[in-house]
Structure 1
Amino acid sequence: MHNQEAPAEHPQLTIGMDIGGTNLRAAVIDADGTIVDLEKLPTPSEAPALEDTIVRVVDTLRARHPQVAAVGLAIAGFLAPDLRTVRFAPHLPWEDVDVVARLENRIKLPIVVEHDANAAAIGEHHRGAAQGGGTWALFAIGTGVGGALMHNGELYRGSFGTAPEFGHITVVPGGRACPCGKRGCLERYCSGSALQLAAHDRIAERAYPESVLFTRFHRQPEEISGRHIVKAARDGDKLGLEILRDVGEWLGRGLAMVQDILDPELIVLGGGVSADADLFLETARAEMA
């Protein structure tokens, strides 16, 4: 009689989805944290379309990976303490919406919801730049600015579950209007949307009329995107470089405030805009000094 080895069980997989104001990214992840599949789509601006897109992406990934056992949603917005309900999301079409209730009957898998910056902080704590204990902060710079704070491996959420919203620190009293209802929030001066706002202002002022950004977009400034501005800066365009320097200055001021108030041993930069940090990080560090 021969002993036969039992067939190896298929490892369980998880779908992690980052729902930002500009893009929706979904990854299939194994138990070791390795990404085995990816999908990326623009984020729809209407709630039904966004929910349909989430379900469609999950269905697509599950068709390729049937062993997916759960879904995690990282959402750029203010979450209720139940970690199900989006109270308000400046760049997403949900307000006082129980996202789990909207999706669970369609996805039919366990769904976990977390604030996007907190989710990023958990990842950095376990596998990234902030492994270990201590007190440290994360700035997630994307369409807006999110924040997270960890102390000895635990997230700090505040009394009502929304802390810390670094992007909504007031840096310019009476400044640019923010979708949160206030004026002069940091994310209106230091984010992907801030790049566009700054470009609109400079083009209206006819600053640097020789700039490729001015010549291409002065008739339709609403079509300019953060990627256009970054490319112009990398090509040496004076207007593009000035806008990125301004972002660096505002980022440095925001980081200095967090440093003064919280005294973290480390600040981690994340989010889509941070991929181009070489264009503004030196300015930010100088502003912090």
Structure 2
Amino acid sequence: MTGRLQGGAPLTVGIDVGGTNIRASVVDADGEVLDTVTAPTPHSAKALDAALARTVRELRQRHDIAAVGLAVAGFVDADRARVRFAPHLPWQDAPVARTLTAELDLPVVLEHDANAAAWAEYRFGAAAGGHNAVLIAIGTGIGAALLVDGELYRGTHGIAPELGHLQVVPDGRHCPCGKRGCWERYCSGTALADTAIEMLATDPVTSTVLARDVIRDPGSLTGRRVADAAQDGDPLAVRVLADFARWLGLGLAFVSDIFDPDLVVIAGGVSTSAPLFLDEAREHYARSVTGAGHRPLARIRTTQLGEAAGMIGAAELARAALVTARG
């Protein structure tokens, strides 16, 4: 079993609790991942609690663990102890931190997954040195986090900021949140596929590989497929990515008008395709922000920590809570 780091800094576990898989990592005080285990995500709250406890116990057999942090895609209360609601997880108003603390006899803290990723990027990655920073995690939808003066801003009830659900198109595309026209419905992996289908409906070009694929089986289309086709120069896919870049730039202009950050980090699965859209998005942002040409612009970077950011951030936040509790 490995113990504490030099100087006594404790090892902690960060867990990314996803709708499909649980990924748990032992992380040291420098943000380095030392060990990782994965498991399928169960479909009941009791089974999920048990699976999380098992992953931590497995890691404890090899490491001296002092605390646990969970990165959750859902609403976490202001005390970071209870999951109010998570659309892809079975918890509803669940005292997850208390349950796991009792089961493991370890301190457990919760955090929204975008907040955890933002904290990791701030401490060890692309947001290092940022004063007021925003993280935009673009995947199936949009997750977001805000750092103000180097501290996570969670809002009064622990829910802020839900930037993906800013309404950018009145009466636009339906969103699973219940509204219409949310930003994430035009700027996400899901949106890439929807935009391709809409473009073909209004301009039924059939001469591209992607167009023929969509016509043959619209349900098989994914954002990854669109991005790969754009990388290959497919004309329809290139148009879709240009539309995506426009919406990203416009959305970042809204975010800058509200928060005036000095740094924006683009994360999430779609960020791996950033060379296809980011420069164009920067141009739309620079033209669309209020006071364009007369104000400094935020630096826009892509994630350095990738899919490990949520685990690293959750582990680091658990370490910080442990230090605070010990005085």
- Which of the five TM-score ranges fits, normalised by the shorter chain? 0.7 to 0.9
| TM-superposed deviation, 1:282 | 1.6
Residue type matched to 1:16 in 2? G
Kindly indicate whether residue 8 of structure 2 is the aligned counterpart of residue 17 of structure 1: no
Contact kept in structure 1, 2:98 and 2:108, CA below 8 Å: no
**Stretch of structure 1 that moved more, 81-90 or 118-127:** 81-90
Q: Equivalent residue for 1:96? A: 93
TM-score normalised by the chain length of structure 1? 0.83
| TM-superposed deviation, 1:169 | 0.7
What does the per-residue CA deviation read over 1:222-242, in whole Å, with 9 as the maximum and x for residues that have no partner? 233222222112111222222
How far apart, in 2, do the equivalents of 1:224 and 1:56 lie?
A: 36
What does the per-residue CA deviation read over 1:129-176, in whole Å, with 9 as the maximum and x for residues that have no partner? 333462222212222212222222222222222111111111111112
Partner residue of 1:148 out of 141, 145, 148: 145
Kindly indicate whether residue 27 of structure 2 is the aligned counterpart of residue 29 of structure 1: yes
Change (3 A) 1:187 1:69: same
Residue type matched to 1:187 in 2? E
How far apart, in 2, do the equivalents of 1:52 and 1:228 lie?
A: 36
Kindly indicate whether residue 275 of structure 2 is the aligned counterpart of residue 278 of structure 1: yes
Local SS of the residue matching 2:256: helix
How far apart, in 1, do the equivalents of 2:231 and 2:238 lie?
A: 8
Residue type matched to 2:142 in 1? V
Describe how 1:93-242 pairs up with structure 2 within 5 A: 93-101=90-98, 103-132=100-129, 134-202=131-199, 207-242=204-239
How far apart, in 2, do the equivalents of 1:219 and 1:55 lie?
A: 45
| Superposition CA RMSD, Å | 2.9
Contact kept in structure 2, 1:208 and 1:238, CA below 8 Å: no
How far apart, in 1, do the equivalents of 2:41 and 2:209 lie?
A: 28
Residue type matched to 2:146 in 1? L
How far apart, in 2, do the equivalents of 1:46 and 1:223 lie?
A: 29
What does the per-residue CA deviation read over 1:166-209, in whole Å, with 9 as the maximum and x for residues that have no partner? 11111111112222221111111111222233344345567442
Local SS of the residue matching 2:161: coil
Change (3 A) 1:218 1:81: same
How far apart, in 2, do the equivalents of 1:138 and 1:88 lie?
A: 22
Contact kept in structure 2, 1:78 and 1:162, CA below 8 Å: yes
What does the per-residue CA deviation read over 1:41-60, in whole Å, with 9 as the maximum and x for residues that have no partner? 67666656655554454344
**Stretch of structure 1 that moved more, 51-60 or 192-201:** 51-60
Contact kept in structure 1, 2:3 and 2:64, CA below 8 Å: no
How far apart, in 2, do the equivalents of 1:44 and 1:209 lie?
A: 42
Describe how 1:7-86 pairs up with structure 2 within 5 A: 9-11=3-5, 12-20=10-18, 24-39=22-37, 50-51=48-49, 53-63=51-61, 65-86=62-83
Partner residue of 1:262 out of 259, 262, 276: 259
**Stretch of structure 1 that moved more, 74-83 or 216-225:** 216-225
How far apart, in 2, do the equivalents of 1:249 and 1:44 lie?
A: 38
Local SS of the residue matching 1:218: helix
Kindly indicate whether residue 310 of structure 2 is the aligned counterpart of residue 287 of structure 1: no
How far apart, in 1, do the equivalents of 2:40 and 2:194 lie?
A: 20
Equivalences, count: 281
TM-score normalised by the chain length of structure 2? 0.74
Residue type matched to 2:234 in 1? D
How far apart, in 2, do the equivalents of 1:191 and 1:22 lie?
A: 19
How far apart, in 2, do the equivalents of 1:60 and 1:208 lie?
A: 54
Structure 1: tracts of 5 or more residues without a match:
1-7
Contact kept in structure 2, 1:143 and 1:193, CA below 8 Å: yes
Instruction: Report % sequence identity.
Output: 52
Local SS of the residue matching 2:127: coil
Contact kept in structure 1, 2:138 and 2:269, CA below 8 Å: yes
Change (3 A) 1:90 1:282: farther
Change (3 A) 1:79 1:9: closer
How far apart, in 2, do the equivalents of 1:202 and 1:50 lie?
A: 41
